[in-house]
Amino acid sequence: ISLTEKGVAYLSDYIAAIREVIGPEVPLSSDHYGHIDVNPCIRLARAMEKHHLAWMEDMVPWQSGELMKQIKDAVDIPILTGEDIYLKEDFAKLITMGAVDMIHPDLASSGGLLETKKIGDFAMEHGVAMAMHFAGTPVSFMANLHCAAATENFIALEHHSVDVPWWEDLVTGVPKPIFQKGYASPSDRPGLGIELVEEVVKAHLKPGTQYFAPTPEWDNER
């Protein structure tokens, strides 16, 4: 898929309108590309430079490291990827080849607490910052907080549930609200510092599913 000059201008104006509302002090980034050719990606990113984006995410699929490096080298906006990458090795390839300015692992699918800490430390050693992808329950949120607090190059943690009224009710053991004015604190209690509230979890299960039901369909690799 390509972009016309009209399309590039439309997207740039869209970002300009957001920047005008939030002002210059609030970091602003953009996501959901991945289906655009490299040259239109470069033209789009260059048009976005004046809006001072914190990063542009997944401009091309992460497996295409050479193409991502081509974009990164051509523009003055941080290029970020990583939410779909499992384990440290592929992060290390992108970092060492200079294909990314920042990485974006999802702790729940990148390998867990220790592996994500290793990913962050490797990036730190190479001057690459780490934001963290997250879209899940307070359990995963608290795991991310602990990892973030222990990782020197941590920038920001994604959070999609600020408008879900029952999200924080899924757990106890930490001060509420868990997320306040853009910040959250890891617990100093044992483990992640939280306990599941089973009745709240059960009340919000997807229809037709069971609480901690067996999942034999995942016993074999897809």
Whole-model pTM: value is 0.88
pLDDT of residue 66: 95
pLDDT of residue 41: 94
Q: For a pLDDT cut of 70, what percent of the chain falls above it?
A: 99
Q: Which two tokens stand for residue 183?
A: 């910040």
**Torsion from C-alpha of 122, 183, 186, 141, nearest 10 degrees:** -70
Q: Enumerate the H helices of the chain as residue ranges.
A: 5-22, 38-48, 65-74, 88-96, 107-110, 112-125, 138-149, 198-203
Total residue length of the chain: 222
Block residue for tokens 């005008």? 20
pLDDT of residue 222: 67
Q: How far apart are CA 214 and CA 49, in angstroms?
A: 49
Low-confidence ranges of the chain (pLDDT < 70): 222
Q: How far apart are CA 188 and CA 190, in angstroms?
A: 7
What residue type is 128 in one-letter code?
A: V
pLDDT of residue 215: 84
pLDDT of residue 1: 82
Helix (H, G, I), strand (E, B), or coil: what is residue 67? helix
pLDDT of residue 89: 97
DSSP collapsed to 3 states, 107-130: HHHHCHHHHHHHHHHHHHHCCCEE
Query: How far does CA 172 lie from the centroid of its chain?
Result: 25
What would the pLDDT profile of 145-183 be if each residue is shown by its tens digit? 999 999 999 999 999 898 999 999 999 999 999 988 889
pLDDT of residue 203: 94
Q: How far apart are CA 56 and CA 54, in angstroms?
A: 7
What residue type is 40 in one-letter code?
A: P
In the chain, what are the helix, strand and coil shares in percent, each to the nearest 5?
A: 40, 10, 45
